Amino acid sequence: MSEEKKVKSMKVEEKEVGATLYNLDPIIMKHHYEIDYIHSYAQDSPFFAGLSKGQILGSKCPKCGATYATPRGHCMDCGAKTEWMELPLEGTVHTYTTCYFGGEEFLDETPFTLIMVEWPGVETLFLSRLVGIAPEEVAIGMKVKAKFKRLSQFKPTDVYFVPTSE
Amino acid sequence: MKPVYMIGGGITKFSKSSPQKDFRYMAKEAFDQAMADVPNLTLDMIDGSVVSYFSDHFTRQLMAGIMVQDYLGLTPKPSRRIESGGATGGMCIQSAWEAIASGRMDVCLAIGFETMSHVNTWKGNEFIALASDTNFDYPVGGFYTGYYAMMVKRHMYEFGTTERQLAAVSVKNHGNALHNPYAQFPAELTIEDVLNSEMIADPLKRLDICVMSDGAAAVILASEEMAYKLTDKPVRITGVGTGTDAMRLSDRPSRDVILLPHEKAEDYKDLKYPGVHSFRGGRVAAKEAYKMAGITNPLEDIDFVELHDAFTSSEIQTYEDLGLCKYGDGGKFVESGAASLGGKVPVNPSGGLLACGHPVGASGLMQGVFALWQLQGTIGQHFGGDDTLQIRNAKRGLIHSHAGTGTYITVSVMERGF
């Protein structure tokens, strides 16, 4: 094989993938960035399993009695391992907002209403969405009722709330 | 603990994007300005640094801290990165303070930056929302403006705070920034302008919320001996305090109000605290800093405040945490003019985060820089001859940095040392 032939074959293959030129002065490159991320709910898993069975599970500390509407594996007061506690499906709105914008992942869903749900005798709150009501009609103190998605996606949005019709 | 002084500060003009300079160059620009403030200080006298930036997602360069250290010519000296969400900049100063107070260093650089322009605003909001519990909060509609909106809704319910009072903060801070050449978003606004701006998360509107920014800021801290050797205008950091609270807004059970020296338990007989309407961590930070600085009545003892106003609502809530007024009176406090330039205790005379911008890792350091210049009496000199924002005879100032829904909060008290 001649020297010349060998050199000719040594050429980088050029494909249009990855970063592309976005601007010339200064030179700015733009690249797409997406990943599959493996996220474990770990000790919180029973909560998500509970949603698929139509239950909202909070936590209770067997040692000091502290109660948590959003579960936590260990008590933030005394450090003991908590136990699971089923919450009533009806609660009240502690506070709320309607989001007309959001992070990119949720932009398609705007406007959506967020509420913090409060239960009597439970010391902390639970973040969820409220549907089936105009934003201007939502009020602190109103009674709301949990509903569950039929096809569980194992996300906290498997449960959402609607106004209690009385 | 050894006494700690701030001797120099520098800052880039915050902007929507800065494609001509990367984070290293911006840091270098802020650093060079800080060094120019102290002509007798040379690179070899700096014992080490603390470098801060909030988000690896925005930077997309891990270990960017060491890249700043090497770009500034400070290798192989000690350095570390500090991150604590929105309070990153304030924590950076306190970390450098510890290096001097412990006697480990005689001169320490505290420098921070953020480059938020690399993604669009909505992706940026998504990145920021990742600073909320990714099991329970983020997936429900993760959006920081939404979280703060829920907090202020409850504040309005508990105390009667109004949207006009929120708007008054926006008018004040954007107006102050008209005289600050480093500010990204100076504007002459009316209450109506704010009320009529686009609703983002009820009740917070576009002009109630800070913008995303690129920028860097730096301060240089020194021991007493080095401070007086290097400058005739040293500013002493007389108190530092840090508080925290649970990441989830849900996890804020009611407790007794943590009282400041000038308050009594009877003041808050029926108040459920902190709930979601107040930042307990801010109160804890203030209490620790006041104790160290010997402050017993903050409204009387402090000449100005630069506080973390990423939202107009958080400025009102923070007046209360800092004890400038009682819990619940924050809305009336801003309406009274007490926080305005020329008021009892001007708050965010620089324009704050609302008007200067909020490049997260730099914001707390920005407050340090402006507070330093206030106490040195050099605002006019640094602001191109415009000294409108100079607070006459300012002797003691407070800076306050705050992370997501009040999770990390730093308060530092600074006093004229000459």
pLDDT in tens, B101-145: 999 999 999 999 999 999 999 999 999 999 999 999 999 999 999
- Which of B143, B198, B211, B244 is the mutation pick for testing A, counting most A CBs within 10 A? B143
pLDDT for res A166: 61
Q: Do B154 and A105 touch (CB under 8 A)?
A: no
Q: Is the pLDDT of residue B89 over 80?
A: yes
Beta bridge partners of A18: none
What residues contact residue B189 under an 8 Å CB cut-off, 6+ apart?
Answer: B170, B171, B174, B175, B207
B255 → chain A, closest CA residue: A123
Whether the bond into B234 is cis, omega within 30 of 0: no
A41/B252 touch (CB, cutoff 8 Å), yes or no: no
Reply yes or no on whether the pLDDT at B361 is more than 60.
yes
**First vs last C-alpha separation in chain B:** 20
* Nearest CB neighbour to A128, from listed B128, B140, B253: B140
| Sheet with A83-87, side-by-side order of all strands | A67-68, A56-60, A83-87
List of chain B residues whose C-beta atoms are within 8 Å of the C-beta of residue A41: 135
Contact status of A78 with chain B (Cβ, < 8 Å): no
Report the alpha-carbon distance of residue B315 to residue B335 in Å, rounded.
13
**Contact criterion met (CB < 8 Å) for B157 and A95:** yes
Q: Which two tokens stand for residue B243?
A: 């508080």
Q: How many CB atoms lie within 10 A of CB B251?
A: 18
* B80: helix, strand or coil: strand
- pLDDT of the residue at B396: 98
3-state secondary structure of B93: helix
Comparing alpha-carbon positions, the chain A residue that sits nearest to B57 is: A33
CB contact under 8 A, B141 and A116: no
Q: Do B126 and A103 touch (CB under 8 A)?
A: yes
Instruction: Establish, for the pair of chains A and B, how many residue pairs have beta carbons separated by less than 8 Å.
Output: 126
Is A155 touching B (CB cutoff 8 A)? yes
Residue-wise pLDDT tens digits, B318-354: 999 999 999 999 999 999 999 999 999 999 999 999 9
Q: How many residues does chain A have?
A: 166
Q: Answer whether residue B312 shows pLDDT above 90.
A: yes
User: Which residue of chain A has the CA closest to B201?
Assistant: A99
Nearest chain A residue to B147 by CA distance is: A97
Please report how many Cα atoms fall inside a 13 Å half-sphere around the Cα of residue B3, on the Cβ side. 15
CA distance B181 to chain A (A): 25
Overall average pLDDT of the B299-309 stretch: 98
Q: Which residue has the tokens 């094989």?
A: A1
Encoding tokens for residue B230? 């290097």
**Two structure tokens written together for A150:** 């039929």
Residue B402 has pLDDT above 90, yes or no: yes
CB distance A102–B134 less than 8 Å?
A: no
How many Cβ atoms from other residues are within 10 Å of residue B181's Cβ? 12
Contact status of A37 with chain B (Cβ, < 8 Å) = no
Cβ(B93)–Cβ(B101) below 8 Å = no
User: Within 10 Å of residue A55's Cβ, how many Cβ atoms?
Assistant: 17
Contacts of B145 in chain A (CB under 8 A): 99, 101
Vertex A108 angle, CA B125 and A136, to 5°: 90
Does any CB of chain B come closer than 8 Å to the CB of residue A95? yes
User: Residue B352: which of B213, B219, B236, B218 has the closest Cα?
Assistant: B213
> What pairs with residue B51 in β-bridges?
B81, B111
CB neighbours (10 Å) of residue A6?
9
Note the pLDDT tens digit of each residue in B7-18: 999 999 999 999
Find the helix or strand (DSSP H, E) in which B82 lies: strand B79-82
In this prediction, residue B20 carries a pLDDT of 95
Cβ-based burial of B157 (10 A; exposed 0-12, middle 13-18, buried ≥19): middle
The helix-helix angle for B312-321 and B144-159 (nearest 10°) equals 50
- Kindly determine whether residue A157 and residue B139, on different chains, have CB atoms separated by under 8 Å: yes
Phi-psi region of B340 (alpha: psi -120 to 50; beta: other; left: phi over 0): beta
- Residue B177, phi-psi category: left (phi > 0), alpha (psi -120 to 50), beta (remainder): alpha
Q: Residue A60 forms beta bridges with which residues? A: A67, A83
Is the Cβ of A60 closer than 8 Å to some Cβ of chain B? no
Q: Give B199's contacts in chain A (Cβ within 8 Å).
A: 100
pLDDT for the residue B215: 98
Q: Which residue of B has its CA nearest to A153?
A: B139
Beta carbons of A156 and B135 less than 8 Å apart: yes
pLDDT digits (tens, 9 = 90+) for B189-242: 999 999 999 999 999 999 999 999 999 999 999 999 999 999 999 999 999 999
Which tokens go with B141? 């509609």
Per-residue pLDDT of chain A (166 residues; tens, 9 = 90+): 555 556 667 788 777 778 889 999 999 999 888 899 999 999 999 999 999 999 999 999 999 999 999 999 999 999 999 999 999 999 999 999 999 999 999 999 999 999 999 999 999 999 999 999 999 999 999 999 999 999 999 999 999 999 998 6
CA B2 to CA B4: how far, in whole Å?
Answer: 6
CB contact under 8 A, B253 and A140: no
DSSP reduced 3-state for B396: strand
Q: What ipTM goes with this model?
A: 0.96
Q: A99 and B146 in contact by Cβ < 8 A?
A: yes
Tokens of B148: 């703060």
